[in-house]
Amino acid sequence: MTGTDTSADTLTRRPIQWRRATLRDTRMETRTARTLVFDVPGWTEHRAGQHVDVKLTAEDGYSAQRSYSIASASAPGRVELTVQAISDGEVSPYLVETMTPGDELELRGPIGGWFQWTERLTEPVLLVGGGSGIVPLMAMLRERSRADSIAPFHLVYVARTPDHVFYANELYSIGRSTSDVTIERLYTRAGLPDDHRTPGRLGPEDVPPPTVSETGSTRVYVCGPTGFVESATRLLQDRGHEPSAIRTERFGPTGG
Ligand SMILES: Cc1cc2nc3c(=O)[nH]c(=O)nc-3n(C[C@H](O)[C@H](O)[C@H](O)COP(=O)(O)OP(=O)(O)OC[C@H]3O[C@@H](n4cnc5c(N)ncnc54)[C@H](O)[C@@H]3O)c2cc1C
């Protein structure tokens, strides 16, 4: 499901109101991607995997809107986004390079009723992310931890190089300290000296087959640029995952 469902909350069909959000803190994830932590009065909760629409308005009234996945686990009054700057983009360079704590923007959400994970789901989860497609998958990992879920998670995260990895320390620490969570980082252009895998696109051998546990069979979430999502979905089906078990989110251009 892509970011087109912006007029109403897909669970309740309530119109979604715009809220003022104040930037509280930022963290650089890579040279060109930044996490933005917003205080959002009135924000109650969201489900991991959902996104928001962000609206920037210039002094002359011109405004631009884009969709961004929520990176954080659910927390009242707080929303974290992670944005990759696109060099000729209208909105993302402002969010990554210019906005400073204390600045405000408008956002509305949470949006999306299909691409989401909650602690009530206990079957094994396979997360497959390409580039900034890691963002909603990170929210799912964080939500798993916040809720003390014991659902087995396996993340396959494809990035260009180690320098392009978001949340590097946190992912390392989750992978080391959490049994039942497997974190795999794959590189398309250049890897680490001791990597066994030759850098390259996601291939059949990179994608685990479905597993069946007493709580059910694997539920899959795939997120990234459209081409990545399409090829990953084909590989997953070739490996035996049922199409109905695969949920996708495409990070295509948005706005208007
Ligand atoms: C549901 C959803 C969730 C998203 N979540 C995130 C997120 O968590 N983090 C994040 O960084 N982005 C995310 N995006 C992408 C985001 O909405 C914007 O498209 C992106 O930030 C570019 O906006 P811009 O205004 O800078 O570029 P624009 O001014 O819209 O476009 C500038 C140029 O870049 C191209 N372009 C636009 N968007 C992309 C893109 N995503 N990939 C490659 N080229 C592009 C355009 O075709 C154009 O040539 C999400 C998109 C969707 C649909």
Rg (CA), the chain: 18
Expressed in angstroms and rounded, the spacing between residue 123 Cα and the centre of ligand 1 is 32
Q: What's the pLDDT at 237? A: 98
Q: Is residue 97 in contact with ligand 1, taking CB distance under 6 Å? A: no
Q: Report pLDDT digits (tens) over 36-93.
A: 999 999 999 999 999 999 999 999 999 999 999 999 999 999 999 999 999 999 999 9
- Whether residue 205 has its Cβ less than 6 Å from ligand 1: no
CA of 251 to the centre of ligand 1 (A): 6
Render pLDDT for 187-229 as a digit per residue (tens, 0 to 9): 999 999 999 999 999 999 999 999 988 888 999 999 999 999 9
Q: pLDDT tens-digit profile of 229-254?
A: 999 999 999 999 999 999 999 997 76
Distance 151 CA to ligand 1 centre (A): 31
pTM more than 0.85 = yes
Q: Looking at ligand 1, which residue's alpha carbon is closest to its atom 1?
A: 3
Atom of ligand 1 nearest to the CA of 255: 30
Q: Which two three-digit tokens encode residue 69?
A: 């996945």
Atom 3 in ligand 1: which residue has the minimum CA distance?
Answer: 68
pLDDT value for 215? 84
Q: Is the CB of 227 within 6 Å of ligand 1?
A: no
Q: What is the pLDDT of residue 202?
A: 97
- Calculate how far, in angstroms, residue 194's C-alpha sits from the geometric centre of ligand 1: 33
Question: Which pair of structure tokens corresponds to residue 254?
Answer: 């948005």
Q: Residue 161 pLDDT > 70, yes or no?
A: yes
Average pLDDT over residues 95-115: 97
Binding site membership of 56 for ligand 1 (Cβ less than 6 Å): no
Q: What is the pLDDT of residue 11?
A: 52
Q: Is 2 in the pocket of ligand 1 (CB under 6 A)?
A: yes
Distances (CA, A) of 75 to 17, 46, 165, 208: 18, 8, 25, 32
Closest CA to 32 of 79, 70, 89: 89
| CB contact at 8 A, 79 and 38 | yes
Which tens digits make up the pLDDT trace of 2-39?
333 444 455 555 678 999 999 999 999 999 999 999 99
Q: Is 32 close to ligand 1, i.e. is its CB under 6 Å away?
A: no
DSSP string over 144-191: HHHTT----EEEEEEESSGGG-TTHHHHHHHHHH-TTEEEEEEESS--
